[in-house]
Structure 1
């Protein structure tokens, strides 16, 4: 009798291939970050280091390094530019935590809780300045335009999100426009500049831009799902932060659209800030689960991840392309 062959379960995607691909380059990037966050004012490296050393995935600078590997770039210009990308991202996180009044960031007390809001904002400004120093040192006006434009778009996205806060009628289209700006713009720029320093053609530049942009949307969609789906110890921020802040993320938009009138009345009160207790969060989570809003959000994320993978299909198959494809799959399957 022939034994039945049981297929091995497919392991969940991870960032390990991307991290292995970019490990050597990230050592150089981290050296630049460490050097450029220094200042004669001790508070600056202390506060910046609190967040920079806080265990983030460093996905955005990894995109610059991975893109360079994908297109066969052998120089070193991208190391400083990847550091600039990380400084832009870190600066926006510092400012976001002040705006949102966040208490946790990556499982630790947020910088604004430890150092106060004024210092946190000003050190964010310092990191933006360091980023622009690194860009100008590179000397490419095209790179400068891509990254400076992304910085402006991120700020617009954050303002747009602020004006949509506690607005129950926020549409899915507006929500997607917000995350395209506040998250995906930097993913796209980080990926695209690898093609610019390698002097690739416009088609390859655009492919890397589309990879980063779609990956960024997928990443943010999952972030917004996780707020109603994970414990703080896993996700590195307090569960339900988006709910308490009245943010109209896709799980809420879908649950509201699919709910009956009593459910919609609850959502109107909750998003307006009239229902923000732990019991209200539990009911919100139950309604989101009832209407399949988390599954639908992750399914939309999967769609954008597939678009990211398709975008880099113009490049020859390689370890770099496979690592970047798995990073897109990881963005959808992750729980943190």
Structure 2
């Protein structure tokens, strides 16, 4: 499945790299982000005390706020000077946070961003219900914005996101799954919200369809690159840096690109290993190190990062629609931030 924009010319990045790129983007929209954070805290409140308590646990767990940052920066990139983007950035973060709560229940995760997950602390039922509450708050913010186009974009992204998560369950533990199916999963569960987060920036500014499409392409390709790196990190990063237990995807039998590449390039004995550990979920202590060794042997990590770079280049190409400036440079540097996490 091809990226949304051809990676021909790259937008000239600025000087920031890695975490510095995210810090630079945050500084650029600091006032808007602070307003967004205040709105998030306000809309988390409920007369049922458990709701803000549980929601605050995950919201305060150290997330980078990347998706709302993209909404705020995209609106500034196209010259928007109102305040609608603040509410929509909060909406995007609520959608994202709701899916995190649901994902951790589905995956039976014990950690989220290096801390005990909400389901580990509060239980599965409260986590699912508070996730539903945050989805409801997100839709309240969409309606309050008053734009049917914004409502269409964000509600559609929410539906596609859930479809991606369900498809991931469908192909889980199935070594006959294809790369096309895997890409459909990550385009749904991750890239759809990235694309919507950036696209609504152009919508609130009333910009032409070409600019709206360019920001959608930027967000989509950035989201695919981001998830490709996340999936590689599950087998290569330290637990402290990843914020979850290394090898979770392996233990759950998730089908990701590093697994698919190692399986496709392996001999029959190696393929039998993947069928036993991923399909049949028969795993022992030495199996994760062996899985990592097989991925290294068949260059699955390097090729996953290279694929992420390809989508990153497409995101940069989409930014060329816009004139050079601090916002475009910051958004270009975010591409490098997403990919440099694999170092």
Correspondence 1:330 to 2:331: no
Match of 1:195 in 2: 202
Q: RCO greater where, 1 or 2, for CA within 8 Å and sep 6 or more?
A: 2
Q: Does residue 277 of the first structure (1) align with residue 281 of the second (2)?
A: no
User: 2:125 aligned with 1:118, yes or no?
Assistant: yes
Deviation at 1:278, TM superposition (A): 3.1
Q: How does 1:87-166 map to 2 (within 5 A)?
A: 87-166=94-173
* Distance in 2 (alpha carbons) for counterparts of 1:331 and 1:39: 35
Which whole-Å CA distance do the structure 2 matches of 1:155 and 1:300 have between them?
Answer: 24
- Aligned-residue offset at 1:274: 3.6
Q: Structure 2: how far apart are the matches of 1:136 and 1:278?
A: 51
Question: How far 1:275 sits from its partner (Å)?
Answer: 3.3
What is the correspondence of 1:1-336 to structure 2 with a 5 Å cutoff? 12-13=17-18, 14-335=21-342
1:89-136 superposed Cα distances (whole Å, 9 cap, x missing partner):
000000000001001000001100100000000000000000000110
**Structure 1: 5+ residue stretches without partners:** 1-9
SS of the residue corresponding to residue 15 of structure 1 reads helix
Kept after mapping to 2: 8 A contact 1:235/1:335: no
1:151–1:186: 8 Å Cα contact kept in structure 2?
A: yes
Deviations 1:60-108 (A, max 9, x none): 0000001011101000001011000000000000000000100100000
Is this contact kept in 2: 1:243–1:276, CA < 8 A? Answer: no
Q: How many residue pairs end up in the alignment?
A: 327
8 Å CA contact 1:54–1:106 kept in 2: the answer is yes
Output the aligned Cα RMSD: 1.1
Report how far residue 17 of structure 1 moved: 1.7
CA distance in 2, matches of 1:293, 1:22: 37
Per-residue deviation, 1:16: 2.0
TM-score for the superposition, normalised by structure 2: 0.94
Question: Offset at 1:272?
Answer: 1.8
- Partner deviation per Cα, 1:277-326 (whole Å, 9 max, x = no partner): 33100000000011000000000000101100110101000000000000
* TM-aligned CA deviation for residue 12 of structure 1: 4.0
Counterparts of 1:103 and 1:318 in 2: how far apart (Å)?
42
Q: Is the 8 A contact 2:232 2:342 kept in 1?
A: no
**In 2, Cα distance between equivalents of 1:165 and 1:153:** 18
Preserved CA contact (<8 Å) 2:251 2:281 = no
Change (3 A) 1:65 1:12: closer
* Distance across 1 between alignment mates of 2:30 and 2:170: 40
Aligned equivalents of 2:92 and 2:61: distance in 1? 17
> 1:7: which partner in 2?
none
Distance in 2 (CA, whole Å) between partners of 1:246 and 1:293 is 17
Q: Distance in 1 between matches of 2:70 and 2:16?
A: 23
* Whole-angstrom distance in 2 between the partners of 1:243 and 1:18: 33
Distance 2:218 2:158 in 1: 19
Q: Any gaps of 5 or more consecutive residues in structure 2?
A: 1-14
How far has the Cα of 1:11 moved from its partner? 7.4
| SS across alignment from 2:133 | helix
